[in-house]
Structure 1
Amino acid sequence: MATVVLARIDDRLIHGQVMTAWLQYVGANHIVIIDDETASDDFLKSIIEMAVPREIKLHIYHCEEAAAEIKKMSDDEKLMILAKVPESFLTVIETGLPLEKIIIGGMGANTKRTKFYKNISASDTERESFKKITAHGTKLVIHIIPDQQAVGVEEYLK
């Protein structure tokens, strides 16, 4: 099975920070996006495909199918898994793909979210998903860019 070198929640999915800082930092050769909306939108998928360097493989999956598809991947795959919301990762974990650590990156403010940590916002549902993810034994940290220190989320989930 492939090695997960980074699992990151970022509602922007593919953007400069992911492509320049994180991709190089973790040495991924394959990006997997787990998001039902994106997997169902051919136009959005084509835009994302254009943003990913040609030497990097890309797959975009619905949440329910992602764990099974990732388990089929070869051992030489180094995966960067991206999802817009924590519920996507929770589904992947609950459908059979254990993850050691998930990074909370960009989760911007919207009408359903309130401030979680500095410029990170989360809804009540997302906070519950964070708790469920950690209950599965997955470490959850806030880590915006590689050269900054990661921050644990335990105290923010009380």
Structure 2
Amino acid sequence: MANFLLVSHGEYAKATKASVEMIAGEHKNVKAIAFKQTMNQDDLLEEITKAASEFDEAPTILVDIAGGTPANTAQRYQQKHPDVAVYSGLSMPLLLAVVMGTPIDEAIKQAIDNMAPVGLTKKKEEPKKTIKKEETPNKNVTLTPHTMQNVRIDERLIHGQVATMWTNALKLTRIMVVGDDIVKNDVLKTGLKTACPHGVHLSILTAHGAARRINSGKYVGQTVLLLVKNPGVLRQLVDFDVKLPEINVGNMSTKPHSRQVAKSVAVLDKDVEDFEYLDQKGCHIYHQMVPSEPKEDFMEMIK
């Protein structure tokens, strides 16, 4: 019997498993993992590795959405275990079909067919899609300080909230991920390319490389979200004369000796030092997890 490991944001995977068991009974070949806000990718990878090792054979991993942290972390696990298949789109119809023995490809078709108007609900006609002409960046190569308007610290980098909510709210044309360590990590770069939303360009750069491109005017005319994992990278950019008028602190996971200042943000002493430096340089730093939430003064939060 095939094994299945469910991974989702929050309790969704566990709830889906419980709902299916109401119909099909308990299945010991199915395990579920909840990804919580206080966790980072390494924490989740450890959970996936532990759960997968408890199966007699390699499981198929079902995650909630493509591009989210569960999907990105499952792909990291897959890199070292190529016999493991990973699928997004976890749902009750999909899980019910596979636990009843339906092959995964057929189960996906059945789950899609299950999404249909019910009763008197009429199917809506889809509006015609318009294709936007790609904007051409400014080719000016003179290095002068340039401003990055959309800047976010998010340790998970491109995940569900960034790939959906922030991309749509800001109408992004490019995501720029900056970090010297990220450029050297081929596995992480592969995951970022997979997670990047369709139609959005992706740049993965060192701090020096990003500053040079920004200050050469390469991204003028584009709507760019600058993503970093910690404030130290932004401190480097400021020292390279990149102007950062506003910085959104979204997610920084709990670490040894860190201090929790928000539900999704924990800071080390070094982080506080970097934030104070950025504040002194005139950066307005705020906390906003998703676009629908109000902005909170981050410097007040870390006092």
TM-score range (shorter-chain normalised) is over 0.9
The one-character-per-residue Cα deviations of 1:53-84 (angstroms, maximum 9, x if unpaired) are: 23111111112322112223142211100000
Identity %: 25
Q: TM-score, normalised by structure 2?
A: 0.50
Q: What amino acid is the match of 1:6?
A: N
What residue is the counterpart of 1:21 in the other structure? 165
Aligned-partner SS, 2:148: strand
For the 8 Å contact 2:156–2:251, the answer to whether it is kept is: yes
For the 8 Å contact 1:102–1:138, the answer to whether it is kept is: yes
What is the Cα deviation at residue 40 of structure 1? 0.8
Q: How does 1:9-88 map to 2 (within 5 A)?
A: 9-72=153-216, 73-88=218-233
For the 8 Å contact 1:4–1:78, the answer to whether it is kept is: no
Q: Distance in 2 between matches of 1:74 and 1:142?
A: 25
Q: Which has the higher strand share?
A: 1
Q: What amino acid is the match of 2:155?
A: D
- Segments of 4+ in structure 1 off by > 6 A? none
Q: What amino acid is the match of 1:133?
A: L
Q: What amino acid is the match of 1:147?
A: S
The answer to whether the aligner puts 1:151 opposite 2:289 as a matched pair is no
Aligned-partner SS, 1:38: helix
Specify every segment of 5 or more residues in structure 2 that has no aligned partner in the other structure, as ranges: 1-137, 139-145
Q: Distance in 1 between matches of 2:276 and 2:234?
A: 12
Once superposed, what is the RMSD of the aligned Cα atoms?
1.6
What residue is the counterpart of 2:151 in the other structure? 7
The one-character-per-residue Cα deviations of 1:97-128 (angstroms, maximum 9, x if unpaired) are: 01110000011101142112333100000011
Q: What amino acid is the match of 1:57?
A: H
For the 8 Å contact 1:68–1:96, the answer to whether it is kept is: no
What is the Cα deviation at residue 44 of structure 1? 1.4
For the 8 Å contact 2:246–2:283, the answer to whether it is kept is: yes
Choose which of 84, 92, 95 in structure 1 pairs with 2:240.
Answer: 95
Specify every segment of 5 or more residues in structure 1 that has no aligned partner in the other structure, as ranges: none
Q: Distance in 1 between matches of 2:195 and 2:264?
A: 25
Q: TM-score, normalised by structure 1?
A: 0.93
The answer to whether the aligner puts 1:118 opposite 2:263 as a matched pair is yes
Q: What amino acid is the match of 1:56?
A: V
Bigger Cα Rg: 2
The answer to whether the aligner puts 1:138 opposite 2:283 as a matched pair is yes
Describe the shift of the 1:81–1:124 C-alpha distance in structure 2 as closer, same or farther (beyond 3 A): same
Count, aligned residues: 158
For the 8 Å contact 2:250–2:289, the answer to whether it is kept is: yes
What is the Cα deviation at residue 28 of structure 1? 1.3
